[in-house]
Each structure stands twice: as C-alpha cells, then as structure tokens.
Structure 1
C-alpha cells in the first residue's frame, strides 16, 4: 500500500479538502473552509498545515471563538446543510468559547466540525498553559465539555486514530437524521506528530445524501388518518426546507384544502401569499395559525421537532379528538407528541401522500375558514406595518419597512433571540425561499451578526441583513470586524429599546416588578438598577470597527438609512432607536414558565394560579 508521511494536522487538511456531497444528482465540495482563532494549542499543528500551500481551504480569522462557530452554522444553514466549515481554536478558554456554538448547532441539526486544541497527550509538560486539571481523572480536559453538545466526539491521542475519526465524523455530518456538532479534540503535541498515511485516505470521497422513501404501508397509514379527519392541519418545520420540499407541501395543501402553520425553521419554505399559509404557529405565531390549530383534529408535522414554542407547551391543540402524525428523517423527533411516526424524506412522502389522497378524491372540511383567517391576519399585519408611534419608531414598524418597502425580496434576513423572532415569525412575508434565516432552536443571543456573515459567505450575491436587539448586539458583535476584514458586506439593524425588553415583558407578565432587565444605572438611593437609562451609540461603535454607522429615530430617517446602507460597499450598522414594548403581543398563545408558587407578592401568586389553570389544558406527553 502506497503511503505518504505527514503530520496529523496536514492529514486533516488534506482529507477535508477532498470531501464532496452528492444530493439529487448534484456533486458539490463539502468543506468550504476553516474559521477560528489560533493559539499555542493549534497554531503550530493544524495551523502549520493551513498556512502551507497546496490546498483549497481558505482560513478566516475570527475575533471570538463562539462567533466563529456561529459563522459556520450560518454558512451551513444557508447552504441547506450541504456545505460546512470547520472551526478551530487553542486549548482552554478558546475551546470552551465554542461550546455554546456547538450546542446551537446540535439543537438545530446543523452540521459543524469543531477542531479544538487539547492538552499534551504525553503529559510531559503538565500543567501546560490554559490546562484544566482534574485531580481525580487525568484523562479529562476542558474539551470534555463538548461531549453533551456533540453528535460525535473523539480525542486523538495517536496519529493513526485520525483516519477512522475523520471517516466517522463525515458519516455524522452528512446524515440528515443526525446533523449537529462533531468535535475532534486535538492534543497539541499529536497535531505535529508524523505518520505514514495510506494515500487512498486522501482520494476524493463523495458522500451520498439519499432520500429515504416512505413505504407503501407508511403512506397507507397517513392516508387513512387524513381520510378520517375533517380538519387536518400541517406544521411546516425545518425538514421541509432541508428536503427542499416547499413546492411539494404547497401543492399538497392547496390540492386538499389543508391549512399550514410555519415553525421558525420552516418559515419561508412556502411563500407567504399561498392560500393555505397561515404564517407562524405557536407562542410566536399568528392569530390565524393559532386559532385554526385549536380546531384541528389531525396535526401533520412535517420536519418539525414539536418544540414548546411550536406547540405552546403542548397546550395549543385543544380539540379532544386531535391526533398527530409526524414525518421526519430523525426517529427521535418523529415520535414526539405521541405521534404516528413516519421515518422518511419529507418531499417523497408528500408526493406519495398527494397521489394516494388524490385517488381517494379527498378534501378537508375547513370551508372558508382558511381564507377568512388569512384575510383577518393580513389586515392585522398591514396595520402593524404602518402603525404610527408617538415616540417616533416602533420595532414592528422597523420590520414592516424592511419587509414591505426597503429590502430586495431576495435579501436574506437573520435573527435569533429576543422579541424580534416573535415579530418576524408572525409578520414577515417571505417571497423567496431560503431568505428567512432564524436560529430559534437554542435562541442563542449573539448568533445573529456572526451568522449573517456566514450567510453572506454562502451567498455573496445576496444582501444579508441581521435584525438584532441591543441586547443581542452587545452579547456578540465581534464578527463585524471579521466582515470588515474579509470585505463582506452585511447590514446590521440594531433595534435599540434599552435593555432585554423581551424578558422584562415575561417578568412583568408573571406579576414581578421590573427588575434587572432594562439598561439603567444603579440608583444611589435604592441601590437598584432603576436609575437613568444607559445611552449607547451603536453607530459610533460600528465606526470604531471600520463599518459604516447610521442612525434613525423616525420612519423617514430609517428609510434614508436603509437606502444608504444598500448603496454601501462594506458592512453597515443602523442604530434604530425604537420605543420600548413596541413589539407584537401573544395572539391567543400560551407558554409554560416556572412561576413561583409562593410569594409575598399577590400578583405573582395570581400568575401562578393562572399558570396551573392553563397547564391543566395541556397534553401531558
């Protein structure tokens, strides 16, 4: 067997550079590059290999390791999980910074390869700089924190181990049913160790993503359930997007008069103006979607994991006769809500269902309720999008201006935390598939700006716009500097309402006085954070990074700023000063939170009693 002598770091680079994906007959390069921050635990090992010529893996220098992970997630998500980036760091703090991003990837089934540096395998210099020592177990390092947030974890202590580790990693990263973080911890000494690797390890490797067709008995079970239902209802999840099943779902719902509600991950797979699309469903859903969901007697989940926001903590489906069927490639998700599990590809299953139901001449019995619900909701959104705020500018008006007036219809909008995802799931009117980019499985603050850079790397020809609150911006905006460095234009719209107002709303709704969520200075008399508001100039902050900074306090100023941003060549931050509490409300939804059962505050006690009363209406499993 022919061999080639190279280090572990060099072998990793050579291997990753030769991985390809085949999906529906199209072959594409799988690994688009590496992003990270070098430190002593990685720079002379994997870093040496990346610095050398002879490969096609561009290296992007991040400014925060968590941000690097979010860039990679945004890149993979925007590529429908068929292209990835690897993320690397030094040992210790740098590695631990990536754990949050790994959790975000895994919760959302987004493939990302994490390559953190690790402590010396031979232990000779222990404790090395940044080493976490655990007296009772010398095999533990900081990187063990990746274990619960990774779909696959390995630590390379001998150079030959990297061969099987990389092959196993690829099998997980290319599996639609798994997806998520894959972590291969790389002790810094092992990265530089040489080994005679078989040349065939570095041959071009094509990973085939196969659509799993439904069996005839699976289709028969679904059709039987639908035919026995009067008011079936579809939940469009992220699996619809990744299976590219939007057209199949749109045709299916229209053909059989079945309404659909969108999850955050599924939104945009079917255009907003489709006659069966009721917009977002659940805690952050629309009035139309939530009202009809309460009447449904069969809920058909397509590519959804039935999270608590989608189901209103299992409360939303009030029809006592309601049954569930779940189409999903992931068995773990398909069995939620005590559903009839259909482990199969979304697109192929929808097409098979359509053929079988068409032969049965089936129509749902919603009558004109779908059309009337859509019309009522359209009027509500029109009103929200044009509302006048006496204080100057509301958050929902910002979203409306971006959606209906200012942005190109193929612009990619990114968000992920606070009240902005609520407003967007309810009201954003998606015209072009793949342009609504939301991370709401983990709702990770700080995802937005980094992920918008990842989306821009995936689709450089599109405008990529991060819509963030001031809390999310301050949580993690360092990759704005990376965008400047890389010459990648992203537009960041900061809706500044002086604090974590989404959580302040939740706090106050449960009877608790406003406490610790608004951005206020400490009151010297009371000792509480209840003094004057802290004023921040986000535009000036952007300018310090080298981006263009713009400001807006009125609708006209905001329109002017966005038009200026669209003409700009590089990254832009628009500081939009919006009124506190100017987001949308709950629209007949409910969410279970752990309200205190005992309190000296009668409002808290009342809220706890109301929580128990609503919990009695929710399904137990």
Structure 2
C-alpha cells in the first residue's frame, strides 16, 4: 500500500481539501477553506500544515484570518446557509480559551441544523507536559479538557489521541457534515502534540472523495395517509421551514400551493420559501408572525409542516393551533422533527421529493372558494398594515418599522437581509417582503446576539454576486463587531445598518409586558444611590466612531424629520460602493410594529410585591389557558 509520511495536521488538511459534496448534478468542495486564530495549541500543527499547503498549492485549502473564535463559526454557518448545506468552512482555535470561545458557535450551528467543522486544539495526549498553559484541571477526572464541553453541542465529537485514529474520525465527521438529518456542529479535538506527530498516511486517504446528499423518497403508505388527510381537510395550511430552502424545494412548493390553493406560512428559517406577494402566502407563522397567518392557523384542521422543527416561536408556544381536531402532517428528513406534536402522519423524507409526490397525488384537489376568499382577505388586510407601518412618520426618531421599510424599498430583490437577535427578528419576520428564496437570513434557532456581522460575512462569501445587508441593534453590535476588520482586510463588501435605541429594545419590551418595568435593559450611567441603571442620562457611546475606527466607510443619519429619506439615500450610496459601509441611525424603541396576534410563553412570577408583575401574571394565566396540550 502506497503511503506518504506526514503529520496528523498535514494529513487532515490535505484530506479536507479533497472532499466533495454531490447534490444531484451539483458538485462543490465540502470544505472550501479554513478560518483560524493561532496559539500555542495549533500554530505548530494546523498552522504549519496550512502554511505548507499555502506555499505548495495556495488554492487547495485557503486560510482566512479571523478576530474572534465564535465569529469564525458564525461565518461558516452563514456560508453554509447560502450553499443550502452543501458546503461549510472549518475553524481552528488554540487550547483553552480559544477553543471555549467556539462553544457558542457550535451551539448555534447545531440548533440551526447547519454544518460547521470545528477543529479545537487540545492538551497533550502524552501528558509529558502536564498541566500545560490554559489546561482545565479537574481533580476528579484529569482526562476532561475544555473540549469535552463540545460534546452536548455537537452532532459529532471525537478526539484524535493517536495518529492512526485520524482516518476513521475524519471519515465519520464528513458523513455527519453532509447528512441532512444529522448535520450541525462537527468537532474533532486535536491534542497539540498529536497534531505535529508524523505517521505513514495511505494515499487512498488523500484522494478525492465524494459525499452524496441523501434525498430519501417518501414511503408509499405514509404518503397515502397524508394525502387522504389533506384531501379530507376543510382548512389545510402549510408551514414551510428551512428544509424547503435546503432541499431546493421552493419551486415545487409554489406549484403545489397554486395547484391546490393551500395557503403557506413560513418560519424564520423558511423565509423565502414563497415570495411575499404570492396569492397563497400568508406571512410569518407564530409569535413573530402575521395576523393573516395566525388567524388561519388557529382554525386549521390539517397543518402540513415541511422541513420545520416547530420551535416555540413557530407554534406561538402551542397556542397557534386552536382547532381541537387539528392534525399534523410532518414532512422532515429528520425523524426527531417529523414526530413532533404527537403526529400520527409523519413523512420521513426529503422535502422536495415529497412535494413532487404531493403535486401528483393532489391533482384535482383544491381548497374551498370560501377559504380562498378568506386567505385573500386576511392577506390584503395584513399587507395594508405593513404599508402603514412602512410609511414615514416625519418623527426625528423613526420607528424600527419605518427603518425596515426604508431598507426594504432601497434594496434589490436578490439582496440578502441578515439578522439574528433583539427586536429586529420579530419585525423582519412580520414586515420584510422576501423576493428571493435566498434573500432572507435570520438566524433564529439560537438567536445569537453578535451573529449578524460575522454571519453576514459568511453570507457574502457564499454569494459574492449579491449585496448583503446586515441589520443590527446597538445591543447586538456591542456583543461582536470586530469582524468589521475582517471585511476591511479582505475587501469584502458588506452593508451594516446599526439601529441604535440605547438599550435592549426586545427585552425591554418583554420586561415591560412581564411586569419588570424594563429593569436592566437601558444603557444608562450607574446610579450609585439607587444601585441600578434606571437614571435619565444616556451613555455617550458613539458606535459610528467605533465602526469608523476599523476603516470601514460610515454614514451617520442624524435625528430629523428627514431621517427615513436620508436612510434611503445612504443605502443607495452603500450599494453603489465596492467597500464595506456602516450606516448608523437612531430609533424610538417605544414605537412598535403591527400586532401579529401571536404569543410567546415567558413564565411570570407567581407572587410579587410589584403591582405591575401581579397584573402581568393575571394576563399570563389567561393567555396560557389557550395552550394546546401534546395529546388530548
């Protein structure tokens, strides 16, 4: 057997460079590059391997510098979404804090069912130097390292304790990365001594290898039961999730909706499954959804969930479905999601392949004229509310809805909006008018503050022919803005709109509704006497100056009655530029978007000395009574 003498790191990097994903006729590199921050744990291992390959073949496995380990994984996730899970990046970090900084990214990838390969360095396998700098020491189990924290956050975890283990571990990792039902964070822990250890590598391990994306067909009996339930339904509704996007099913979903008249609502991950002005599109479902979607979901007798994991926001904490006889047809490649809501009608199959079969099996079926008329009525009413929310008020501090409307009207259909946390995900789910299947990227499975700029970079890497517009509140911006420097260093065009309201707008509003009176959610000077941050004096933070310090172009929108017009002009300037641009605008956090009639279960103190909390508790008990049990 022909072999090549290599280090573990050299073998791993060359192996990754030769992995390919096949999805029908589409073929692309599974791992087109590596993000890395080097420290003592990986500089002599993976760092050396990347340098060596950069000298011999710089296009085979490019290295990209990062500023924050968490942000590396966010970039990989943003890229993976734009490539519909066919490709992602690897991320390497050093021992201890470098590795631990990737934990949030691992959780985000797994929660979103999006692939990301993590290569955290680990402490010496030989323990010849024990403890090493930054080693976590637990007296009851000295074998535990920081990297063991990745176990519950990863869809696959293993540690290369000996060079010979690399072969089976690397192949198993690739299987999970490319499996639609299993994918998420994949973690290979690499002890720093093993990384640099040499061994004989079979040339077969380094040859190009193809990984076929599984597109399982629906089973005949499961499909027949689902078709019978849909045909017998008085009010069927489709809830389209991320699986529609990942399986390239949006075209056949549109055909099924047009064939049958079945209305469609979308989850956050499913945004783009149907364009906003399609007659069957109701808008977002659930707690951050539209009144059109939620009113019809409340009466639905058959809910057809396609590629959705049914989060509490999608189900409005199980209050969205009020029909006592509602049944769930759950189409999902993952059995874990297909059986949710106690469904007796699961279809464990690919979304696109199942919709192709439904298109054939539902020929001749259509919803009643009464339902079709109601869908049109509810949609028109909601679209009118959105139009009103977008209309400029002329206030010096516009509402966030006005800001979203200005960005919407200034963007092109193929532009990608990126968001993750705060009040903006809810407003975007309600208001953003998606015109392209990949035009909406709101990370809401983990809703990670700080995702936006790093995720936006990943989106732009994955779609360099599209403008990427990142909308971020000041709270989330302050969490993780350092990747603006990455945009400057690599000349990556990104449009970042910072919406400043001097606090945590989303949690401030939530705090008010649960009776906590916005405590701890304002950015204010500390009041030593009151021992709180509730005073009237705002902090003198200058986020525009902060962004400018990274070398990006900055446009500041001053508070004025013309603020919305100025924002539109700024977006036009940013789109015409080839450089990264930050646009800063202030908003009034007390002006809210239209009510979509959804609810979110946040338990409220059962007893309280605060009248505001007691009143909120009474309302909570009343609303909770409408929650649907799992069974019965």
> Taking structure 1 as the reference length, what is the TM-score of the superposition?
0.98
Secondary structure of the structure 1 residue equivalent to 2:56: coil
Q: How many pairs align?
A: 620
- Determine whether 1:533 maps to 2:535: no
**1:408 Cα deviation from its structure 2 partner:** 1.8
Give the equivalent residue in structure 2 for 1:415.
419
Q: Match for 1:400 among 396, 405, 415? A: 405
Secondary structure of the structure 2 residue equivalent to 1:358: coil
**1:361 Cα deviation from its structure 2 partner:** 6.7
Give the equivalent residue in structure 2 for 1:559.
568
Deviations 1:125-168 (A, max 9, x none): 11111111111111100011101100000011100111100000
Q: Which blocks of at least 5 consecutive residues in structure 2 are unaligned?
A: none
Runs of 4+ in 1 over 3 A off after TM superposition: 359-365
Give the equivalent residue in structure 1 for 2:18.
18
Deviations 1:507-563 (A, max 9, x none): 110122221101111124423202211132222111111111111131122122222
Give the equivalent residue in structure 2 for 1:166.
170
- Determine whether 1:4 maps to 2:13: no
Whether the aligned pair in 2 keeps the contact of 1:233 and 1:299 (CA below 8 Å) is yes
Secondary structure of the structure 2 residue equivalent to 1:114: strand
**1:357 Cα deviation from its structure 2 partner:** 1.5
Whether the aligned pair in 2 keeps the contact of 1:419 and 1:583 (CA below 8 Å) is no
Q: Match for 1:436 among 428, 433, 440? A: 440
Distance 1:535 1:169, change over 3 A: same
Q: How does 1:149-548 map to 2 (within 5 A)?
A: 149-339=153-343, 340-358=345-363, 366-404=371-409, 406-531=410-535, 532-548=537-553
Give the equivalent residue in structure 1 for 2:34.
34
d(CA) in 1 for partners of 2:627, 2:412 = 41
d(CA) in 2 for partners of 1:361, 1:134 = 64
Secondary structure of the structure 2 residue equivalent to 1:378: helix
Give the equivalent residue in structure 1 for 2:609.
600
Whether the aligned pair in 1 keeps the contact of 2:158 and 2:169 (CA below 8 Å) is yes
Distance 1:360 1:421, change over 3 A: closer
**1:215 Cα deviation from its structure 2 partner:** 2.0
**1:474 Cα deviation from its structure 2 partner:** 0.3
d(CA) in 1 for partners of 2:212, 2:564 = 50
Q: Does 77-86 or 360-369 show the bigger shift? A: 360-369
Q: Match for 2:93 among 82, 89, 92? A: 89
Give the equivalent residue in structure 2 for 1:138.
142
Secondary structure of the structure 2 residue equivalent to 1:521: coil
Whether the aligned pair in 1 keeps the contact of 2:385 and 2:594 (CA below 8 Å) is no
Deviations 1:393-430 (A, max 9, x none): 221111101112x1122111100001101111111111
**1:25 Cα deviation from its structure 2 partner:** 1.8
d(CA) in 2 for partners of 1:119, 1:609 = 53
Q: Match for 2:56 among 42, 54, 57? A: 54
d(CA) in 2 for partners of 1:185, 1:61 = 20
Q: Does 219-228 or 557-566 show the bigger shift? A: 557-566
Whether the aligned pair in 2 keeps the contact of 1:303 and 1:329 (CA below 8 Å) is yes
d(CA) in 1 for partners of 2:594, 2:524 = 24
d(CA) in 2 for partners of 1:514, 1:210 = 48
Give the equivalent residue in structure 1 for 2:43.
43
d(CA) in 1 for partners of 2:399, 2:183 = 38
d(CA) in 2 for partners of 1:393, 1:589 = 24
Whether the aligned pair in 1 keeps the contact of 2:259 and 2:366 (CA below 8 Å) is no
Whether the aligned pair in 1 keeps the contact of 2:34 and 2:91 (CA below 8 Å) is yes
**1:26 Cα deviation from its structure 2 partner:** 1.8
Secondary structure of the structure 2 residue equivalent to 1:182: strand
Secondary structure of the structure 1 residue equivalent to 2:216: coil
- Determine whether 1:581 maps to 2:590: yes
Give the equivalent residue in structure 1 for 2:69.
65
d(CA) in 2 for partners of 1:572, 1:452 = 13
Q: Does 457-466 or 237-246 show the bigger shift? A: 457-466
Deviations 1:43-69 (A, max 9, x none): 110110000133411111100000111
**1:364 Cα deviation from its structure 2 partner:** 7.6
> Taking structure 2 as the reference length, what is the TM-score of the superposition?
0.96
d(CA) in 2 for partners of 1:558, 1:363 = 44
Q: Does 338-347 or 354-363 show the bigger shift? A: 354-363
d(CA) in 1 for partners of 2:248, 2:488 = 33
Whether the aligned pair in 1 keeps the contact of 2:262 and 2:367 (CA below 8 Å) is no
**1:363 Cα deviation from its structure 2 partner:** 5.5
Distance 1:231 1:327, change over 3 A: same
**1:500 Cα deviation from its structure 2 partner:** 0.4
**1:359 Cα deviation from its structure 2 partner:** 5.0
**1:569 Cα deviation from its structure 2 partner:** 2.1
Whether the aligned pair in 2 keeps the contact of 1:151 and 1:178 (CA below 8 Å) is yes
Distance 1:155 1:579, change over 3 A: same
d(CA) in 1 for partners of 2:172, 2:370 = 49
d(CA) in 1 for partners of 2:40, 2:214 = 41
Secondary structure of the structure 2 residue equivalent to 1:341: strand
**1:391 Cα deviation from its structure 2 partner:** 3.2
Q: Does 87-96 or 562-571 show the bigger shift? A: 562-571
Secondary structure of the structure 2 residue equivalent to 1:403: helix
Give the equivalent residue in structure 2 for 1:590.
599
Q: Match for 1:112 among 109, 116, 134? A: 116
Q: Which blocks of at least 5 consecutive residues in structure 1 are unaligned?
A: none
d(CA) in 2 for partners of 1:379, 1:364 = 23
Secondary structure of the structure 2 residue equivalent to 1:32: coil
Distance 1:124 1:395, change over 3 A: same
d(CA) in 2 for partners of 1:361, 1:45 = 61
Q: Give the alignment's Cα RMSD to 1 decimal.
A: 1.3
